[in-house]
Amino acid sequence: MSIVHLRAGGVSLVLDVTGDRLPVVVHWGADLGDEPDEVLQELRTATQPQPFGYPVDGPMPVSLLPEASAGWPGARGVTGHRAGAAPSTRFVVSRVDHAGRDAPWATGVVVHAGDDAAGLDLVLEVEQARSGLLRLRATVTARGDVAGTYDLGGVLPALPVPARATELLDFTGHQLRERAPQRLPFAHGTHERSGHRGRPGFDSGYLLCAGEPGFGARSGEVWAVHAGWSGNQRMHAERSYHGVCLLAAGELLEPGEVRLAPGESYVAPWTYATYGTGLDDASARVHDWLRARPGHPRTPRPVVVNTWEAVTFDHSLDRLTALADAAASVGAERFVLDDGWFGARRDDRAGLGDWTVARDVYPEGLWPLVDHVRGLGMDVGLWVEPEMVNPDSGVARAHPEWLLTAPGGRAPGQARHQQVLDLADPGAYAHVLGQLDALLDEYPIASLKWDHNREIGEAGLPPSGRGAVRGQTLAVYRLMDTLRSRHPGLEIETCASGGGRVDLGMLSRTDRIWASDSTDAHERAAIQRWTSLLVPYELLGAHVSAPVAPTSDRALPLDFRCAVALFGHFGIEWDVTEATEAERERLAAWVACYRERRGLLHSGRVVHAEVPDPAYDLHGVVAHDGSEALYAWVCTASSDTWPPPAVRLPGLDPDRTYRVALDGPARDLEGVAARWGVSLPWVDAGGAELPGRLLAEVGLAMPVLFADRAVLLRVSATS
């Protein structure tokens, strides 16, 4: 074969596999239809540029793993050497297999190649999901008949994007402000995002997007890549004067971290790639793939109450049972006992790593609390941080050799009074697995909130000091997978000081992410909007905090806090025992609203209107069959326009007629009408009934809101 056409979900990937070089992308983007191979071969010829001005005479094929041996002067797909020799690769393809895949993967291709001079074999996998999402992975093997070690520097799969993609979008941030978007021109040169934090980090590039100028939620073609890896990451955008524009993402290896002895292999993490007209379209391909996975959560996502902001380390059975009573009274379905239940953990300086129940706090174990919670109709979750230890802990004192070290064997600097437990060490791994396994055997724990509060940073394997992040990440994956296999039905929520480890590698083995330790709904509105580019609402933990958010000291209305949390996996992070009776009644109404709407919220297509006014936002979910939708109209600042103009409702079926009405507990326009005696005509009429094409193209007048207020719009098809 000379052309491979992968086609699914409205996306085409056309690969040139002519000759013995690695595959070159002819087209990645909109579906090209069922074109015959001879037409695609003609397309390949028609789109090949003149071989003019290249570093080599003739063509310069830039493959999925770009090679200097093909003339490419930019970042290479595979880097490494053999004691300084073989610093570049020239892979020769021996076989290309093109076959279907099991759901949710529709089709794929596997390329087998080798490099005699470097003594390497390569297997390159490319798969396309039924949603159109792509993923790539390379396995590099040092040949068994070649003596010596191959020092692997890295593997960085890359995909080209058209020259018209002249704008980049990726993300930065810090704790309590994760996934803050940043845009810049896609100009000549490289845009590199890499981190040595041992996790993606608060400032992770997250999703590296390239698109047409001004691309938005609903407009402009956009191409994006993501590293599905929970350790050190590298994201790379490169535009050369040779007319080549590449996006790449993969694992970032420390020097000497992967040294392949004869017969050993390195399996790179998956690099994911999505395309769409607008960010909503590109995002939907990821959501649809996640939802099609066999292990994706299928049961209704329970209303969670988490104890951290209510009690912190001040555990007592009376206080916790009172909190459970209050939570059950407003409709909570899961009670998560956070930090402080184990060992000597009375503050954050001691006890971490000793995963046994603190008998001075719980003399009868957790059973009195577990029985009480389950008697109220809720299941039980438990906070753990298995990868970390306090030096002031039983495990650290007994086994100092299990702690990761810095080069030379010295101890790394403490962070949050913690060091890292080397889970790649068989003894340390067995210890943690044994303690967690025993807890899950003894108690009916429905979920683990799995935290990761310390960046690994400078840490190596004792006693060699070699880089440890890759081995640690793989050990964490193995630990999670083992616990879930031994305890079917166990759910895991990933947390890393909030949103420091949000990636598709972690989401492939967890059921929920904690997007941020910020429970300030004003900040959360933006954090959740951008987190949802990859994470569908049913996996995105979103909690209602106290009237004054403890992470910001900002006072916010209850209805606003609830409306923001509604578009996620709804929960409560508030000592509800301190709420007034009126607050509890209102919170219960929002819980009931969530429970009634979660079927739509957690299955529908996530959409965002392109609202030019930065003070306002409109986002929502639309059922895949177009039968219904739920939107939130949100104000977070004082607008320079009063009243707001009509806003288009995205995602509706243009051929159906819809009735739009205010929905949810907050239907009084947050008191605007009462204060000034002004009204909105379609609201006064009890709703509006219009064709979907008019709602999508012309829009609907939106209510004036004060800052940090929100209302819901329920949309139902009438024909």
Annotated catalytic sites, by residue?
451, 517
Q: Tokens 């009690």, residue?
A: 311
Q: Could you tell me whether strands 334-337 and 379-384 are parallel, antiparallel, or unpaired per DSSP bridges?
A: parallel
Write the DSSP string, 54-114.
-SSSS----BSS--GGGT--S--SEEEEBTTB--S---EEEEEEEEE-STTEEEEEEEEEE
Residue 581 tokens read as: 């009776």
Q: What 3-state class would DSSP assign to 250?
A: strand
Q: What 3-state class would DSSP assign to 19?
A: coil
Distances in whole angstroms, Cα of residue 456 to Cα of each of 199, 389, 473, 479: 8, 12, 11, 18
Write the DSSP string, 135-167.
EEEEEEEE-TTS-S-EEEEEE--EEE--TT--E
DSSP classification of residue 352: T
Q: Tokens 């509105």, residue?
A: 525
- The answer to whether residues 587 and 576 touch, using CB atoms and an 8 Å cutoff, is yes
| 464 CB neighbour count, 10 Å cutoff | 12
Dist CA 144 CA 153 (whole Å) = 20
Largest CA distance in the chain: 85
Element (H, E) at 310: helix 308-311
Query: Which residues on neighbouring strands pair with residue 122, listed in sequence order?
Result: 113, 140
Dist CA 542 CA 572 (whole Å) = 8
| 556 CB neighbour count, 10 Å cutoff | 23
